[in-house]
Amino acid sequence: MVCIARIRFHGVPAATTTCPMTYHLILGDRSFSSWSLRAWLLFERFGIPVKTRFVDFNDKSVAEHLADLPPARTVPTLLTDDGAVICESLAIAEELATRHPDAGLWPNDPLRRATARTLAAEMHSGFGALRNDCPMNLRATYSGFAPSDDVKADITRIEEIWAHARNLAGDGPWLLGDYSVADAFFAPVAARIAGYGLPVSPDAQAYVDTHLHDPAFRRWRAMGLVRGETLERYKRDYPRVDWPGPSPLDAKPVDSGPSENAVCPYSGDPVTHFMELDGRIFGQASGSATVLSRQNALQKPNTRPSSSMKCVTGSPE
């Protein structure tokens, strides 16, 4: 059955869709999984409802977690209720753009759209030195990192293509004017530049700062700071400094509700954990699956307590 729906999600008017399907997005650790961040931003920034599940990076390999969801071997992986298993972030972006043509994932203007696609594709296939030497770690900010020549070359190229896009559009703050898939794809690069203190031009730094102030990016980072562990394999031995972006607002966990929201804004499941912020109580569902299949990805998640909660925007919306 095909029907037209306009849904509101997280306060963002969602796209008109001829296909009101339930998406299930399987993600990795928020602090360390750069590809997961990209995919999540696509849903969050474009107001597309999604149920999220997280694999634990600490107990077994991602491929083992996803063994029952062929051909998936990596996160993010998107399950659609018509049976697709989409396990490449660029394919997730393209499929969402096709299924939600009014959501604005790509710019409408053909020249901007072509440029946004070019930048996203280059990010998807490139910048290996930066990705290898500076793994995304949203829990640590370093000083004293000395980039190799290969990392410097990657940064030079990134500055070149960012400047090309921003000059072409001329009306930022995002690469092609309004936020597009290209920006979601470069959010983890901005996080690396910030996290490793990589020197960039003032224009590039302004674009990095725009990401650091983006409420969606801040929400993701804040949730990663309070859930999951600091994974040793991503740590580097450089001196630590403070995160250069805005800090999350403090919130404290409370044992019980009722909360202002009955349903978790991230998973769509009934709330199981509660936090207090400025005298108001909000809830979320805390879920993680250790074995994933299409069937159990669609069921109520396992729950486990979180020791503290923080919120970046004053409410989880």
Q: Interface residues with ligand GSH (CB under 6 A)? A: 28, 33-36, 61-63, 74-76, 88-90, 124
**Residue 36 or 272 having the CB closest to ligand GSH:** 36
Q: What is residue 78's three-state secondary structure? A: strand
Residue 193 C-beta: closest distance to ligand GSH, Å: 18
**Residue 91 or 241 having the CB closest to ligand GSH:** 91
Residue 28 C-beta: closest distance to ligand GSH, Å: 5
Residue whose C-alpha is closest to residue 195's, from 208, 207, 185: 208
| Phi, psi angle pair for 311, to nearest 5° | -140, 140
**Residue 60 or 300 having the CB closest to ligand GSH:** 60
CB-closest chain residue to ligand GSH = 74
Residue 217 C-beta: closest distance to ligand GSH, Å: 16
* Polymer length in residues for the chain: 317
Residue 36 C-beta: closest distance to ligand GSH, Å: 6
**Residue 75 or 158 having the CB closest to ligand GSH:** 75
**Residue 121 or 263 having the CB closest to ligand GSH:** 121
Residue 83 C-beta: closest distance to ligand GSH, Å: 19
Cα 42 to Cα 58: distance, rounded to the nearest angstrom: 26
- CB-CB contact of 256 with 22 (8 Å): no
